[in-house]
A and B are shown apart, each in its own frame.
Chain A
Amino acid sequence: MTWRSSALIWQSERVTGTESDWNTRHFNGGAKIPGEFVLSGIQPLRSVEFGTAKPVKNTDYQKTFDFALESLKGRSEETDAPGFEHDVWSEIALRDEHSARGWFRWFQSGKSPVSAPVAASFAVVAIAAGGFLGLAQAEAYGKQASRSMEQRYVESIHPVMMSANHASDSDHQH
């Protein structure tokens, strides 16, 4: 039994183990990581890796498995935890990147059809919102215009303010 074969069997055991077993064993019972993610951090067993291996009977396999498990337990200190964590974080980064691209692709793909009534509802809401905003903006503009008129009125009845207006008129004439 080589280290590689024992590792492959160990991987098999990891893949088939429960999520909590895996978290407890490899993350010291720390923060829970979704099962999908944890399992995806492990390379699946490929047939090519078994390509050179001869088919084994169930009983032989059980013996081999037990031997590999014992062997692995004996070599537990040699496990490459930092390397594994690095792979996990790489997987996280890749997934984040894919999810961001996924949104963009989803937006471009046109795979999210909207029924005609929903589209019509969106349009009505958008028009109503636009109209409401337009009215609100026009009201603000009206208040500003009214304030200008009020200033003109006050300038017509306050001598000093009238003089300021007079001075600006003179400046324009000059």
Chain B
Amino acid sequence: MRNLAITIAICLLLGGIAYATIFFWQKKQIDHAHSHMTAFEWFCTEFDVTGPQRAQIEALHQQYFPECKDHCVHYVDTRHTLELITEDPQLDNSDEHAGAAKRLSQLEKEADKSFIDFVYKIAEQMNPEQSKRYLQRMKSWLDQAGQSSGN
């Protein structure tokens, strides 16, 4: 026979230990898996892409990465130029200012377009269920990017 209060305290302690053990064990596994995973590997795991399908999709990614990087560098340069113009009071509302802002906006639209084209290319290589899920997930990021850039 045991005291109810002590029993409750021991049970709470056991529950807490079970919680901590399970949670930290799982967390360690998740952290370990993600720390050794590239973004593309995550994509393959998340959307069950394997075998020849994976090879085809990886080739498309490899083909697209340089183009995306060039676009990114161009975008960063234009944004930097716009920042310099904005900081200069003499260039405020000048043609250079308007031109740089327009160019940046154009690059953002191009970035969205190239992103959409690319994700549809990838989706074509997937089965219907995979592609639907993939496009939904990518669309949410596109919407988020549009909201953050004010488009």
- Which residues of A are at the interface with B, using a C-beta cutoff of 8 A? 107-108, 110, 112-116, 118-119, 122-123, 125-131, 133-135, 137-139, 141-142, 145-146, 148-163, 166-167
Contacts and interface: CB of A to CB of B under 8 A. Distances in A.
Given A108-B5, A114-B1, A142 B26 contact: yes
A112 B149 contact: no
A131 B21 CA distance: 8
Contacts of B31: 145
A110 B6 contact: yes
A106 to B, nearest CB: 9
B39 interface: yes
Contacts of B8: 122
B15 A129 contact: yes
Given A138-B22, A158-B145, A163 B15 contact: no
B26 A138 contact: yes
Interface stretch (B67-75, B85-93, B94-102, B123-131): B67-75
Contacts of B22: 130-131, 134-135, 138
A5 to B, nearest CB: 51
A48 B36 CA distance: 89
Q: How large is the interface on B (under 10, 10 to 19, 20 to 34, 35 or more residues)?
A: 35 or more
A157 B118 contact: yes
Given A127-B15, A134-B23, A150-B141, 18 more contacts: A110-B5, A113-B3, A115-B1, A119-B10, A126-B14, A134-B26, A137-B19, A138-B26, A146-B34, A150-B137, A154-B138, A156-B68, A157-B64, A158-B68, A159-B68, A159-B74, A161-B141, A161-B145
B49 interface: no
Contacts of B30: 138, 141-142, 145
A contacts with B: majority SS? helix
Contact of A137 (B23, B61, B141): B23
B11 interface: yes
Q: Which 9 A-B pairs have the closest CB atoms?
A: A134-B22, A138-B26, A130-B18, A130-B15, A126-B15, A159-B71, A126-B11, A130-B19, A110-B3
Nearest to A135: B22
B7 interface: yes
A135 to B, nearest CB: 6
A159 B42 contact: no
A35 to B, nearest CB: 31
Contacts of A130: 14-19, 22
A159 to B, nearest CB: 4
B149 to A, nearest CB: 7
A115 B20 CA distance: 28
